[in-house]
Amino acid sequence: MTICVRSVTKTYSRGRQSITALQNVSFEIAEGELVLLVGPSGSGKTTLLNLIAALDRPDRGEISVGGLNVTGLSRSAAAAYRNERVGMIFQSYNLLPQLTALENILLPLVPAGRPNRRRAMELLEAVGLGDRAAHRPSELSGGEQQRVAIARALVNDPALILADEPIGNLDDKNARKIIALLWDACRRRGKTMLLVAHDREMIGPADRVFEIRTGSLMCTKQKPASLVSQVELNATRGMSRVR
Amino acid sequence: MIWAKLVFGGLGRRGLEAVIAFGVLVLAAAIVTGSLMVVEGAREAIARAAEADRPDVVQVKSRFNRAVFETPRSGNLPPLTLPVYEPLIDPAKLADAGATVLARQSFLRNVVSGDSFLNIYIFGIAPEEEAQVSTFVVGRGRFLRSDDGPVAVLDRASAQALGVDLGGTFPVRKADGQDITLTVVGILDQLELRYPPPRTVDAPALRPGSSSVTSGVFVTLRTSEEIFGRPTLTDALVVARTADNVPAVVERLREAFRLEPGVFVSESYSRFRRKVQDFVLTLALFTAIAAATAGLAGSFGANLLHDVYADRRRQYATLLAIGFRLTQSAIVASGFGLATAGAAAVVGSLLAVAFAPRHFAMPSLLAELGTIEPSFNAWIVAVLAGMALAIFALGIAPTAWQLHRRSVAVNLSQERG
């Protein structure tokens, strides 16, 4: 599923102060591509994911995902789009406290009325929590909640995965397991993936690395190194078209 | 199961507030229900009194009707040799009242039966209209119809005195000296004439000793005009649209008949109002109690619900974020408030119905309406449903507004507020 972001600007008001989270950001991501989004805190990474997931609307610009203009969707259409096409891994997990781990994973299947417990259980085991299915989020550690959130994002088999620091709270062993899971989803199942990370621990498997600084997008690429200069050149024009 | 958990789970530290809100709403619903049951019982008592007293009926009567028509044909003087006083009620003037008019002609005639004669009260009435204010219980045969010819319906006592039965006939002398033969089509077992004329001569009576006429022969106005020889009325009843319209109707009638001192307009509305005034004040007190309880306890309960909703706002935003449709999220959100307020209303009303006294004595100085029976009816159900909906709406409105006004991302990123 391709993502096309064109001249997107997003500003927040905080009291009398106006904060520009994204400034004239443009890029394209091809289907099946794994893109890493890096940058310091408050640089606009989460805002960009929210806009692509139609959780928010840009002040200017247009975002299309798989040919669908997500900036013009109604609330109901946006909900349907998220449910059918997007798997979102939130930085703060956003698990519902009254549901067990298994039920939290099943939740995206509920709107369509087809909760598949077997599929949810498989994912729970894939993230190493097969024995914690009946536990509520309050009974899980931060890392375990993170893994439940990852399994929830994958349960609908979405074409697009948006992950906001998916391994930020994981130890090395579990981080590698989750990286492998996401890598497998992207490479073997052809999913498009946009991952936010503070550092560059996932830079290895990424096809491209976008860096955001104070709302502006810089595009870098480590492999192959020869493309880096071209990417940076395009980024300064506000558009990256590197393949 | 997931749906139930989504609706009722995740209350966290607000669970206690939800329980308190439920308790407060149960108490409020019980008080409101109890008060309204008393109000409804009292309203029914007043309605029964109004049905009996009919304060909406105004009487218009002529001074001379008794003098003319109660002269029996006895002794040596035939009735037409006495001075004739024309009754003064012109039917056209009654129309000025702007209300329903029940015209009447009532007079006394000697009816010759075999070798004797009998005093009989004869009433010319509009059958359908008169039956709405007076009580006619037909024992045999049928009641009058407006298109009837020379037929009569009479009470059991009069029939026995005249020696006639269903299908029988008897003669009545007309104003022109000729007799008209009336055929009996119905016998009344019971008769309660609204505003009956005073009983001044000996005549058959269903209730012996009564000061008013309790029996008589009923014919259509057309027949009575033929007997009487005049279209003018001896009396009439004017029925206002509502009892509260009576003063205006009376004023218009008095204006219409201001030049005719022989016509009197009287009403029972003022007396009825005085009679039930303190009853009505007590009703207002109970209504105020119900309204104040609904207002105070309802707003307190709504505030507690609001706290619960504010804490759950992020959950609703999460549901939207992972693809729950607006309607599905609304069901989850509204299910909790509706169930809480609705269940409280049901439990409170059941408690009130179970423990309310079967009889309640309203403190009243003048009204002799007896004890009232508190009653539960659809109107109370509607009030309770409205109260529950209002509390739910007040509780959820700020959260719903925040969810609507802000984007899902903003709602997800914020704690309560």
pLDDT tens digits, one per residue of B263-276: 889 898 988 888 78
Residue B35: which pLDDT band, with cuts at 50, 70 and 90? confident
- The answer on pLDDT for B140 being more than 80 is yes
Mean pLDDT lowest for which of A174-178, B6-10, B148-152, B204-208? Answer: A174-178
Reading the block at residue B203, the tokens are 């005549």
> Per-block average pLDDT, block size 10, for chain A (243 residues)?
91 84 90 87 89 93 93 90 92 90 93 85 90 92 89 91 84 79 79 79 74 79 42 37 30
Chain B nearest C-alpha distance from A229 (Å): 34
Write down the pLDDT at residue A233. Answer: 36
**Chain A residues near residue B6 by CB distance under 8 angstroms:** 96, 98-99
Q: How far off is chain A from B319, nearest CA to CA, in Å?
A: 8
Predicted pLDDT at B64 = 59
Closest CA to B336 of B17, B18, B14: B18
For residue B97, the model assigns a pLDDT of 75
End-to-end CA distance of chain B: 30
Is residue B336 predicted with pLDDT exceeding 70?
yes
Nearest CA distance, B309 vs chain A (angstrom): 15
CB-defined contacts A:B, below 8 A = 82
Instruction: Please state the rounded mean pLDDT for residues B392-411.
Output: 91
What mean pLDDT is predicted for residues B173-202? Answer: 87
**B367 pLDDT band (50/70/90 cuts)?**
low
Q: Strand A160-164 relative to strand A192-197: parallel, antiparallel, unpaired?
A: parallel
Q: Do A115 and B315 touch (CB under 8 A)?
A: no
- Residue A6, H or E segment: strand A3-14
Residue A114, token pair as written in the block: 């087809």
Distance from CA of A97 to the nearest CA of B (A): 6
pLDDT at res. B380: 92
* Least confident interval from A34-38, A146-150, B333-337, B357-361: B357-361
Q: Are B204 and B161 in contact (CB under 8 A)?
A: yes
> What is the distance between the alpha carbons of residues A230 and A220, in angstroms, rounded to a whole number?
9
Cβ atoms of A191 and A2 closer than 8 Å: no
Q: At what angle do helices A75-85 and B269-321 cross, to 10 degrees?
A: 40
Chain A residues with at least one Cβ partner in B under 8 Å: 47, 50, 53, 55-57, 75-76, 78-80, 82-84, 86, 88, 90, 92, 94, 96-99, 103, 106-108, 110-111, 115, 152, 156
Q: Which of A88, A92, A97 sits opposite B322 (nearest CB)?
A: A88
Calculate how close chain A gets to B322, using CA atoms only, in Å.
6
Q: Which one of A47, A49, A51, A55 makes the best mutation probe of the B interface by having the most chain B beta carbons within 10 Å?
A: A55
Contacts of B262 (CB under 8 A, 6+ apart): B62, B63, B64, B88
For residue B102, the SS3 value is strand
Q: Is the CB of B408 less than 8 angstroms away from the CB of A96?
A: no
Instruction: Determine, for residues A55 and B412 on separate chains, whether the beta-carbon distance falls below 8 Å.
Output: yes
* Predicted model pTM: 0.69
Looking at residue B85, its pLDDT comes to 55
- Per-residue pLDDT averaged across B290-318, rounded? 89
- pLDDT average, residue stretch B258-263: 81
pLDDT at B80: 46
Q: What percentage of residues in chain B have a pLDDT greater than 70?
A: 90
Q: Do B6 and A90 touch (CB under 8 A)?
A: no
- With 70 as the cut, is the pLDDT of residue B84 above it? no
B343 within 8 A of B301, measured Cβ to Cβ: no
Computed over every residue of chain B, the mean pLDDT equals: 84
Relative to beta strand A34-38, strand A86-89 is unpaired
* Mean pLDDT, rounded, for B106-133: 83
B406 → chain A, closest CA residue: A56
Are A115 and B2 an interchain contact pair (Cβ–Cβ within 8 Å)? Answer: yes
Q: Is the pLDDT confidence value at B83 over 70?
A: no
Among the partner-chain residues A56, A99, A108, the one whose CB lies closest to the CB of B407 is A56
Q: So what's the pLDDT on residue A228?
A: 37
The complex scores an ipTM of: 0.85
Q: What pLDDT score was predicted for residue A153?
A: 92
Statement: residue B45 has pLDDT above 90: no
Instruction: Assign A221 to helix, strand or coil.
Output: coil
In this prediction, residues B185-205 reach a mean pLDDT of 86
- Spell out the domains of chain A, with CATH numbers in brackets: 3-236 (3.40.50.300)
Q: What gap in Å lies between CA B85 and CA B192, rounded to an integer?
A: 28
pLDDT class of B88 with cuts at 50, 70, 90? low
Task: With CB atoms and an 8 Å threshold, state whether B325 touches A84.
Answer: no
* Confidence tier at B114 by pLDDT (50, 70, 90): low
To the nearest whole Å, the CA of B408 is away from the closest chain A CA by: 5
Report the residue from A53, A86, A111 with minimal CB separation from B325.
A111
* Sign of the alpha-carbon torsion through A121, A123, A124, A130: positive
Q: Can you give the pLDDT at residue A9?
A: 93
Q: Is B400 touching A (CB cutoff 8 A)?
A: no
Shortest distance between the Cα of A89 and any Cα of chain B, in A, equals 10
What's the confidence (pLDDT) of residue B76?
47
A41, A92, A96, A102: which to substitute to probe chain B, counting the most B Cβ within 10 Å? A96
CA distance B347 to B345: 6
Per-residue confidence (pLDDT) for residue B65, from 0 to 100? 52
**What b/e readout covers B298-335, taking b as 16+ CB neighbours within 10 angstroms?**
bebbbebbbbbbbbbbbbbbbbbbbbbbeebbeebbee
Please list, in sequence order, all residues whose beta carbon lies within 8 angstroms of the beta carbon of residue B206, skipping any fewer than 6 positions away.
Answer: B155, B156, B157, B190, B191, B214, B215
Interchain proximity B325–A80, CB inside 8 Å: yes
A101 or B100: which leads in pLDDT: A101
Q: Phi/psi zone of residue A17: left (φ > 0), alpha (ψ -120 to 50 degrees), beta? A: beta
Arithmetic mean of pLDDT, B348-361? 87
Q: Is the peptide bond before A224 cis (omega within 30 degrees of 0)?
A: yes
For residues B9 and A158, which has the higher predicted lDDT (pLDDT)?
A158
